[in-house]
Amino acid sequence: MAYVEIKNRQGVFDKRPPAGYISWLGFWEKKKKRRARDCEVKTCNGNADIGGQVVKTGETNKGYILPLCANHNSKSGDEFFEAWENDLVPLS
């Protein structure tokens, strides 16, 4: 699997996780069947603080959940970073 370029999804601050999940991070953990410990950005060593909503470059209509540290989750929608494609959980 390869790295993909992603950025934070804009306009989703009021979006809640699906029924049965208390957080987007919990949603990611359930879908991936593993505990989120680290920020999944390629160059980051931070802790996974939140299940951030991101989009791939060129796919602005399809969102994903990815464990992010508070720093990466606060990046503007104009800042790009890389993550493993297989760590992305699609929002459907």
pLDDT digits (tens, 9 = 90+) for 14-42: 678 889 999 999 999 999 999 999 999 99
Greater confidence (69 vs 61) lies with 69
Instruction: Please tell me the predicted confidence (pLDDT) of residue 5.
Output: 96
CA distance 41 to 82: 6
**Predicted confidence (pLDDT) at residue 13 exceeds the cutoff of 90:** no
Beta bridge partners of 64: 54, 90
Residues above pLDDT 90, as percent of the chain: 75
pTM of the predicted model over 0.75: yes
Q: What residue numbers bound the domain in which 26 lies?
A: 3-90
> What is each CA distance from 61 to 16, 39, 64, 69, in whole angstroms?
18, 23, 10, 23
Return the amino acid letter for 23: S
Give the count of domains, the chain: 1
Instruction: Please tell me the predicted confidence (pLDDT) of residue 23.
Output: 94
pLDDT in tens, 82-91: 999 999 999 9
Cβ atoms of residues 25 and 62 within 8 Å = no
Instruction: Please tell me the predicted confidence (pLDDT) of residue 16.
Output: 85
**Predicted confidence (pLDDT) at residue 78 exceeds the cutoff of 70:** yes
